Amino acid sequence: MAKFLFVYRNDTDNMDLPSPEEMQEVMAAWGAWFDKMGDAIIDGGDGLMPEGKTVAADGAVTDGPFMEGKELLGGYSVVQADSLDEAVEMAQGCPIRATGGSIEIRQLAGLSDQQGE
């Protein structure tokens, strides 16, 4: 078993203000996805506020958000899977895809407990 970081990115072109009812539908979709992953979720993580700051190499501070293209970092989770392929398979079900968002999947560099033994 290895641990993977799921990094969620929203599509800023698709950021229409959802109605309260639509928000609840989105939340229900995430709930269903998490239910499906079940024990594979090590840490559900959290969402990120859209605003922030950056400290550059020279110490200069700039206001965020920090876009990579049209995508805005929206949150993260930590899951466990046997392989990167399995983690990718799980990420396919992520509701963020429905609104044009993406999921980046990265294996944590540290050995998980079982691998350490």
Q: Which residues of the chain form contacts with another protein (CB under 8 A)?
A: 17-24, 26-28, 30-31, 34-35, 41, 44-49, 74-77
Of the pair 18, 52, the CB lying nearest another protein is at 18
For tokens 């540290």, name the residue.
110
Interior/surface letters 87-115, b for 16+ CB within 10 angstroms, e for the rest? beebbeebbbeeeebebebeeeeeeeeee
Report in angstroms how near the CB of residue 117 gets to another protein at its nearest. Answer: 25
Q: How far apart are CA 103 and CA 94, in angstroms?
A: 8
Of the pair 39, 58, the CB lying nearest another protein is at 39
Of the pair 36, 111, the CB lying nearest another protein is at 36
